[in-house]
Amino acid sequence: MPSLSFLGAARTVTGSRHLFEAAGRRVLIDCGLHQERELQARNWDAFPFPPRELDAVVLTHGHLDHCGLLPRLVAQGFRGQVHCTAATAGIAPLVMIDSGRLQEEDARFKEKRHAAEGRQKPQGYAPLYTAEQAQDAARRLIGHPWRTPVTVAPGITISFHPAGHILGSALVRFQAADGTTVLFSGDLGTGGNPLLEGPVTDCGAANLVVESTYGDREHPPEDVATQLDGVLTSAWRRGGNVIVPCFAIERAQEILWRLHQLRARQRLAPWRVYLDSPMAIGVLEVFKANPDSCLPEIRRMMEQGLDPFDLPGLTLTANREESKAINLVERGAIVLAGAGMCNGGRIKHHLDRHLERDNATVLFVGYQASGTLGRQILETRGKSGERVRLFGRFREVRCAIEQVRGFSGHAGKSQILAWAAALTPAPTRAFVIHGGENVTQGFAAELRDRFGWEAVAPEYGQTLAL
């Protein structure tokens, strides 16, 4: 009898890993990192199956919590193919290789710090995986077109359908030879992304594995264009630069597109725009190589040889020296840099130069988690004399702090429910994942009450028959 094992993102938000077994075959859906601090030790655990015995891996999309443990799986013996959309085959290598570099840097830093403190880590200082191992994993990726059946193991066929979360993100529909069908939602978009098609509903299955990241929250309607116009108009009058912490995948590209639209409406002052993120620059190229993953308007522009992300005065700063040169620009610049929550990356250097400038603006366009530098800066908004710690010393926040609401890659509760209700054919059973314990169980109850489905929130490590 076919079964599903929930090996991550089970009553937690990250670490997506789900094992589908049918007719003696094993396929892993996603292989992501646990990113919650209290759960990161799970990334070091042995896989609950011999990696060599997997027939295949399928990725829903290229975010770290969905693909970030794949290099470790390959390093420990997986020799099969990793199936995904063509765009994910472009994005996932960028994410995994960057993560490998960070893993190596973190291991070196810990070893140096412990040596200075006169102590030794019992298990040594090997990284979770290396950049080279991430490159090995990337070579196993095979990109597939949308809505096309693919046999990933004897008796198991899959197809990819747009999910609207990030470029290449997919709903993945499984069909086993005995007729068992399963639809994995991956992460669902809001349906309001200006670049991507929203989650489709014509690929339903009897069994639904559905995310609930925002399963207890809603996204109030927001006019992003008007908000952005207002912030940039005020910032231009103020006479300084605008520093925008943003995520390299999707958010940076959406900001460029919205700036493009403001310029088309003659609402954009002659800003110099800097995309100061090697990963975001790489993702731009993946966008251009995958017009079929974009909305018709964007696709038509690309097919006509037009670049929807190009702007007069746009500079892509791939290397460190180019990034440092931005320091010479005192006014009239919009700088997009990561990390999105200001917890690392080039954005910290730009903040170091601008937080104490009266004429500068720091513009937040994404969620800032509790405890991050981004949240600390955001919470100084409207207050005077507030300070934040940056590079080992306190900085007074004198610049303007702004926030544009409405940028979200995750569907809210009512959006997930509306999508689930429209699925054809309709599911009869649901497994709720990607949310905290209360959220997943609450959302499962909502599905039972609203649709009459059998719905559960699986526990970590639980195996359920289909």
370-429 per-position pLDDT tens digit: 889 999 999 999 998 999 999 989 999 999 999 999 998 999 999 999 999 999 999 999
Asked if pLDDT for residue 27 goes beyond 90, the answer is yes
Which is the CATH superfamily of the domain at 3-217+409-465? Ribonuclease Z/Hydroxyacylglutathione hydrolase-like (3.60.15.10)
Q: What is the mean pLDDT of residues 195-221?
A: 96
Looking at per-residue pLDDT, the higher value among 82 and 107 belongs to 82
Question: How confident is the model over 40-58, as a mean pLDDT?
Answer: 96
Q: In the structure, what pLDDT confidence band is assigned to residue 343 with cuts at 50, 70 and 90?
A: confident
CA angle 225, 227, 228 (to 5 degrees): 65
What was the pLDDT predicted at 429? 98
pLDDT of residue 113: 76
- At 459, the pLDDT band (50, 70, 90 cuts) reads very high
Tell me what pLDDT residue 106 has.
84
Mean pLDDT of 323-339: 96
Q: What is the mean pLDDT of the chain?
A: 95
Q: Report d(CA 452, CA 419) in Å as an integer.
A: 16
**Tokens 């100061």 belong to which residue?**
276
Report pLDDT for 172.
98
Q: Do domains 3-217+409-465 and 224-403 have the same CATH topology?
A: no
Domain 224-403 has CATH 1.10.357.10: no
Q: What is the pTM of this model?
A: 0.94
Q: What percent of the chain has pLDDT over 90?
A: 90
Question: 9-18 pLDDT, tens per residue?
Answer: 999 999 999 9
Summarize pLDDT for 110-143 with one digit per residue, the tens: 888 788 888 887 667 899 999 999 999 999 999 9
Domain segments of the chain as ranges: 3-217+409-465, 224-403
Phi, psi of 393 (to 5 degrees): -145, 160
31 has a pLDDT exceeding 80: yes
Q: Please give the backbone phi and psi of residue 465, each rounded to the nearest 5 degrees, phi first.
A: -75, 145
Cα 154 to the center of its chain, rounded Å: 31
The angle subtended at Cα 187 by Cα 183 and Cα 188, nearest 5°, is: 85
162: buried, middle or exposed (CB in 10 Å: 19+, 13-18, 0-12)?
buried
Q: Poorest-confidence range of 172-176, 238-242, 367-371?
A: 367-371
Check residue 367 and give its pLDDT. Answer: 86
- Mean pLDDT, rounded, for 180-209: 97
Range 422-443 average pLDDT: 97
Do the Cβ atoms of 317 and 326 come closer than 8 Å?
yes
Q: pLDDT confidence of 218, banded at 50, 70, 90?
A: very high
Rounded CA separation 423/456 (Å): 18
pLDDT at 373: 94
pLDDT-derived band at 344 (thresholds 50, 70, 90) equals confident
Neighbours of 231 (CB within 10 A): 19
